[in-house]
Structure 1
Amino acid sequence: MSKLPNSSHARDVEYVLHPVTNARRHEEMGPIVIDRGEGIYVIDDEGNRYIEGMAGLWSVGVGFGEKRLADAAFRQMQKLPYYHSFSHKSNEPMINLAERLVAMSPERLSRVFFTNSGSEANDTVVKLLWYYNNARGRPQKKTFLTRQGAYHGITIASGSLTTLAANHRDFDLPAIPVRQLTCPHYWRNALPGESEEEFATRLAKELEDTILEAGADTIAALIGEPLMGAGGVMPPPATYWQKVQEVCRRHDILIVADEVINGFGRLGTTFACEYYGIDPDVLVISKQLTSSYIPLAAVLMTDEIYQTVADNTAKIGTFGHGFTTSGHPVACAVANENLDIIEEKNLVANAKAMGEVLHRELARFRDHPLVGEVRGAGLIAAVELVADKATKARFDPVGKAGGILFGKGHERGVIVRAIGDQIAFCPPMIITEDEVVEMVKRFGLALEDTAAVLAAG
């Protein structure tokens, strides 16, 4: 990729430190500068057009270039471009959105706290439940249970809940009390001959053993993505969430459902909690809340948690937590319009239908020599590449094949995400059947390109 002296490529390399990027490699190759978006496509500054198979980062549900969201932001900017929600202040878009989220979320959730990102939301969950347990007179109840392969954000607290090695290494994480449980990935972690339900039973026993070892009075909550996303798209085995919830309820351990990726229709239901039968005490949402047109996230909680927290604010004088832009009026106005679009265009049902097409088309690659597993649910999927199909052996180094395919995908006009050697798909929910077929076709060409590169050594 060229980096002309006065080009945007050169200026990016000179001034920007990119997230989740090898900085020295970036200096050598420079960026792809995305210039605009149209529907399921993004176009770079050289005119190359790509199917955005990841909806940005799991997030642009209504597609790119949706004028209604830009208009909603403009109208609100003209009326009230910013105000805070500290010290008894509020704004109409925030009130409307909170009421709407409570109405559409799982039944027991009745209060909303707004943040700017999923990371901030999960960071807030940690502080909220520590505050809650202190108010209950249980100051020792502070540990969080998380799962291997989990992604819950990148702040100090939420990054500690994340269990991906690259997000911990040299950051001195985890920095809060956490205990890791086995990743509920049946294909990779089940024992030989073990059924999905038997695997779920074993994981539930591991959970209970961990609780008994640590002491239930030390554990605040289990946090989990209903379907694990950024760790590689791992749907849970059958009966997993039912068994896990039963253990947690018996031991007074709260359930935190992280639906930052799953929420607002991705699995063909409004929330994945409905899809998997989860009754959460806390729900975390972001990304498709605004289709990521503008930063916004939220934490929803039960009335029992709220009442305990509220009583404690009266006791000590305040809830000493919040952000300058919590409940930002422009972000909330965009979210309300975004949810209108999802509802009016019936995108939840479309995600369900197009998810079936996506899994049908990807299933054609199950016999490919590089493909170990094709998996997912709804309009989220992954293809795991392996060095040996029979043994499920990973590539050495991990990411060798995924990195090649990621680059070849760009050459073929499709953007996917390589999570090591796991190739993830999460296209905009507006996608049509023809577009799904075309996206998977381009992936198939990139897969063959990858096989050729590997064969050539």
Structure 2
Amino acid sequence: MTQLPNSLEARDVAVQLHSYADARKQEETGSLVIDKGEGIYVTDINGKRYIEGMAGLWSVAVGFGEKRLVDAAARQMEKLPYYHTFTYKTHGPSIELAEKLIEMAPVPMSKVYFTNSGSEANDTALKLIWYRSNALGQPERKKVISRVRGYHGVTIASASLTGLPNNHRSFDLPLPQVLHTTSPHYRSQKKDGESEADFAKRCAQDLEDLILAEGPETIAAFFAEPVMGAGGVIVPPDGYWEAVQPVLEKYGILFVADEVICGFGRTGNMFGTETYNLQPDIMTLSKALSSSYQPISALLINDNVYQPIADESHKIGVLGHGYTGSGHPVAAAVALENLKIIEERDLVGNVRTMSPLFQKRLAGLAQNPLVVETRGIGLIGAAELHHEALADTPGALGARTNAVFLEKGLISRNMLDAMAFCPPLIITENQINEMFDIAEDSLQAAALL
């Protein structure tokens, strides 16, 4: 990437530290500067258009350039551009959005707590879980379990919940109270001769064995995504959730469903919780909540979680937690309008209509010798590349392939060697074919590198 001395690319390198990037490499290569977006497409400052095959970061459900969301933000900015939800104060948009989320929840929920990102939502969930344990007179019940390859964010607590090594290395993580159990990825974790059904049962047994080894009285909660996202789009095997949930119920362990990626239609239902018949005590939401037009996230907690917390706050005299931007009126107004669009345009129905073609074209990528496996559900999926065949360092083949995708006009994301696809929920048949045509051409080109 050629950088002129005063170009935006050069200026960016001079002043910004980027997420999920090699800082030294970025000093050499510069940045891709996106200038505008429309529908499923974004355009860079040089006028090149790309299919945004990741919906930004798994999040722009209604597509880019949705004027209704722009107008909702402008109206709220004029009326009340900011207020908070501290100390018994509130405002209309946060109330209306909380009411809407309680109404939409697929299982009974009692209260909503607003945060600003998925990381903050999961971090706050962990704090409230610890607070609740103390309220119940169970100070020893502080350990939480998540899964290898799970992704729950990047704050100190949520990065600990995340089960990916690069989110722990050199950060002195994970925290000691956070444990990790088996990833539900059948291909990589199965034993010789083990059926998918037997693997699902073993995952549940591994979880129970961990609980018993640590002491059930010390385990407070289990965090899990219905479908793993940033860990490689891991779709749980048949029978997995049917085996896991009874283990949690048996030992009185809270279940936190991380719906940050799955929520609001991605898996073919409004929530992944519905797709897999889950019964969470807490749900964490973000991304498609506002199509990421504004930073906002939320926790939904059931009454079993809320009542002890309310009692403890009364005992102490305050719930000593909060964020300046919690339930921000502009973000809440945009989220409300975004949810209206999702419902009015039946985008969940569009996911169901488009997913057979999406999954067929995704599966077709396995015809390329670089691809060892494809997996997905609804409008989310991944093609796993066979880096072992090329004796590559894990992630190197994915990075090279991702660069080819970009060159040919498709923005994907390689999670090591898994190429992800997660387009806006408004995508059409023609656009699905366009996206996977580029992916097929890119894989053929990558195989020749």
- When residues 401 and 277 of structure 1 are mapped into structure 2, their CA distance, relative to the original with a 3 A threshold, is same
Partner SS, residue 366 of structure 1: helix
Match for residue 445 of structure 2 among 429, 436, 449: 449
Query: Aligned AA for 2:401?
Result: L
Partner of 1:437: 433
- Runs of 5+ consecutive residues of structure 2 not aligned to the other structure: none
Partner SS, residue 90 of structure 2: coil
Q: Deviations over 1:330-353 (max 9, x none)?
A: 000000000000011110111122
Partner of 1:21: 21
Q: Deviations over 1:352-379 (max 9, x none)?
A: 2222211111222223211110101110
Partner SS, residue 111 of structure 2: strand
TM-score calculated relative to the size of structure 1? 0.97
Partner of 1:366: 366
Partner of 2:220: 220
- Paired positions, count: 449
Asked if structure 1 preserves the Cα contact closer than 8 Å seen for 2:387 and 2:417, the reply is no
Query: Aligned AA for 2:431?
Result: E
Rounded to whole Å, the distance in 2 between the matches of 1:235 and 1:272 is: 11
Rounded to whole Å, the distance in 1 between the matches of 2:6 and 2:212 is: 62
Rounded to whole Å, the distance in 2 between the matches of 1:50 and 1:119 is: 28
Pairing of 1:2-401 with structure 2 (within 5 A): 2-387=2-387, 395-401=391-397
TM-score calculated relative to the size of structure 2? 0.99
Q: Deviations over 1:393-452 (max 9, x none)?
A: 685301121111111011111001111110000000000010000000001111011001
Give the C-alpha shift of residue 195 in structure 1.
2.0
Q: Deviations over 1:286-345 (max 9, x none)?
A: 000000001000000111211111111111101101100111000000000000000111
Give the C-alpha shift of residue 187 in structure 1.
1.6
Asked if structure 2 preserves the Cα contact closer than 8 Å seen for 1:150 and 1:162, the reply is yes
Give the C-alpha shift of residue 133 in structure 1.
0.4
Q: Deviations over 1:29-58 (max 9, x none)?
A: 101100000100000000000000000000
Asked if structure 2 preserves the Cα contact closer than 8 Å seen for 1:157 and 1:176, the reply is no
Superposed CA RMSD in Å reads 1.0
Give the C-alpha shift of residue 107 in structure 1.
2.1
Rounded to whole Å, the distance in 1 between the matches of 2:430 and 2:105 is: 32
Query: Aligned AA for 1:451?
Result: A
Rounded to whole Å, the distance in 1 between the matches of 2:351 and 2:422 is: 10
Query: Aligned AA for 1:106?
Result: P
- Does 2:400 match 1:404? yes
Rounded to whole Å, the distance in 2 between the matches of 1:362 and 1:304 is: 41
Give the C-alpha shift of residue 266 in structure 1.
0.1
Query: Which deviates more, 349-358 or 244-253?
Result: 349-358
Flag as ranges the 4+ runs of structure 1 deviating above 3 A. none
Q: Deviations over 1:63-104 (max 9, x none)?
A: 000010000000000000000100110111110110110111
- Runs of 5+ consecutive residues of structure 1 not aligned to the other structure: none
Rounded to whole Å, the distance in 2 between the matches of 1:316 and 1:176 is: 27
Rounded to whole Å, the distance in 1 between the matches of 2:304 and 2:221 is: 15
Asked if structure 1 preserves the Cα contact closer than 8 Å seen for 2:387 and 2:393, the reply is no
Q: Deviations over 1:157-189 (max 9, x none)?
A: 001001111111000001241111110001211
